[in-house]
């Protein structure tokens, strides 16, 4: 007997008897689906997880946009927690910080003022110190939200409504990418250049029968916010075709001559999601322990721009030193593409074309609903204008009726 009911004597209530194995299985499945849908995976339409969507909508709702002054981050975090996100304040602030980091997002959705962390892994200042508002890109994600373009859900205490998805005028999932670890699955989508992505969307819109190869020609590779070089393209294109692939990223370098016949290697850009300080310390350690030969001195001269100087010994071959650095440090890193997103609430592995098709379908629905909304609004206005026209055509009778009215 898996499940049964027993009456508790004298209380009038039932006690459920259930197999513990069955109960644990059910509870774990419920929990895992909750994490997948409500926390860790982005929606294919706007590329956002619920916490990001709630942050941006709260800013929009409170007029915290580029045309107004910055507001304290603590103010925004408190508003998100109070209205939409029944979790800890750290989860909201961490998500908001990432939306403001130009080394994490290709096109940041939050315009931050103050210390929002650095590529060296420095933590952001506490939310009582920093200030933020929506970026211009974020405004484009919320355009027309008041025109019945999307569905709404009740918030956690059913006192307000929150957007189920944002109208999103650009394909944010491809443009900014996404990372997330759920229960039993994960997602890892690289960011892309906005112009190339829009070109691919327009091509798919005008040529619905086009092949995925046509789209790959228009957006041949990811475009990471920290720059760098993509080393080898075949695995990237495999990821676009199947949803799973690999992007090998290398630091961008150039050579400078100094002294008498001496050369130094300058690192200008580093791979995406690499902590520059950790990378530099590893390089320094390998130099000190003489595991990489040919380096005389190393300095991190970075300010706003990355600049790591590697002075070579006289006669050392820069190509050999570079190859050893790529092999032994994070100057070369891999980004594993795993393009999983929510489609109608279900986690789905998507190729490049499917992502674009789902986004276009979303935009088609948004534009249709906006048009219907405008039509209803203009019909109501037309009804009033028709009444005014009738009144003006019969002005004497109209005045007589008003004068003789009892009320």
Q: How many C-beta atoms surround the C-beta of residue 73 within 10 A?
A: 27
Q: Which of 84, 129, 240, 378 is catalytic?
A: 129
Q: Are 115 and 130 in contact (CB under 8 A)?
A: yes
176 neighbors 190 (Cβ within 8 angstroms): no
Number of residues written out for the chain? 407
Residue 129 known to be catalytic: yes
Give the span between the Cα atoms of 356 and 45, in whole angstroms: 9
The partner residues of 161 in beta bridges, in order of sequence, read 154
d(CA 115, CA 131): 9
- What is the residue whose two structure tokens read 């986004």? 359
- DSSP labels for 185-254? -EEEE----HHHHHHHHHHHHH-TT--HHHHHHHS-S---TT--EE--SHHHHHHHHHSEEEEEEE-EEE
C-alpha closest to that of 273 among 321, 328, 316, 225 = 225
CA atoms of 64 and 208, how far apart (whole Å): 39
DSSP per residue, 80-118: HHHHT--S-HHHHHHHHHHHH-TTT-SS-SEEEES----
- List, by residue number, the catalytic residues: 129
């Amino acid at each position: 007997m898996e499940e049964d009911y027993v009456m508790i004597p004298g209380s009038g209530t039932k006690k459920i008897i259930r197999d513990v194995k069955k109960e644990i299985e059910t509870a774990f499945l419920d929990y895992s689906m909750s994490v997948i849908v409500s926390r860790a995976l982005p929606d294919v339409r706007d590329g956002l997880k619920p916490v990001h969507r709630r942050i941006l909508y709260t800013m929009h709702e409170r007029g915290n946009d580029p045309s107004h002054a910055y507001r304290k981050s603590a103010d925004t975090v408190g508003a998100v927690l109070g209205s939409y996100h029944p979790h800890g304040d750290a989860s909201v602030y961490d998500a908001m910080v990432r939306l403001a980091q130009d080394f994490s997002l290709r096109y940041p959705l939050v315009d931050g003022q103050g210390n929002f962390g650095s590529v060296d892994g420095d933590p952001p200042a506490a939310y009582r110190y920093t200030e933020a508002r929506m970026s211009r890109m974020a405004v484009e994600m919320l355009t027309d939200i008041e025109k019945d373009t999307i569905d709404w859900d009740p918030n956690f205490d059913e006192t307000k409504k929150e957007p189920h998805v944002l109208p999103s005028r650009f394909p944010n999932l491809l443009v900014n990418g996404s990372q997330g670890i759920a229960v039993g699955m994960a997602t890892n989508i690289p960011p892309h250049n906005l112009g190339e992505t829009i070109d691919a969307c327009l091509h798919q819109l005008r040529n619905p029968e086009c092949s995925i190869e046509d789209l790959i020609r228009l957006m041949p590779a990811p475009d990471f916010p920290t720059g760098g070089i993509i080393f080898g393209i075949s695995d990237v294109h495999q990821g676009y075709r199947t949803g799973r692939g690999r992007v090998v990223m290398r630091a961008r370098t150039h050579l400078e001559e100094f002294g008498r016949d001496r050369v130094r290697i300058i690192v200008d850009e580093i791979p995406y999601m690499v902590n520059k300080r950790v990378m530099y310390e590893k390089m320094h350690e390998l130099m000190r322990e003489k595991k990489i030969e040919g380096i005389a001195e190393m300095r991190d001269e970075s300010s706003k721009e990355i600049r790591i100087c590697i002075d070579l010994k006289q006669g050392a071959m820069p190509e050999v030193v570079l190859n050893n650095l790529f092999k032994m440090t994070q100057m070369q890193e891999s980004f594993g593409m795993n393009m999983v997103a929510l489609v109608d609430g279900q986690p789905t592995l998507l190729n490049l074309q499917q992502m674009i098709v789902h986004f276009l379908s979303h935009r088609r629905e948004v534009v249709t609903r906006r048009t219907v909304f405008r039509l209803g609004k203009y019909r109501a206005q037309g009804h009033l204008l028709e009444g005014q026209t009738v009144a003006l055509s019969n002005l004497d009778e109209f005045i007589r009726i008003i004068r003789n009215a009892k009320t």
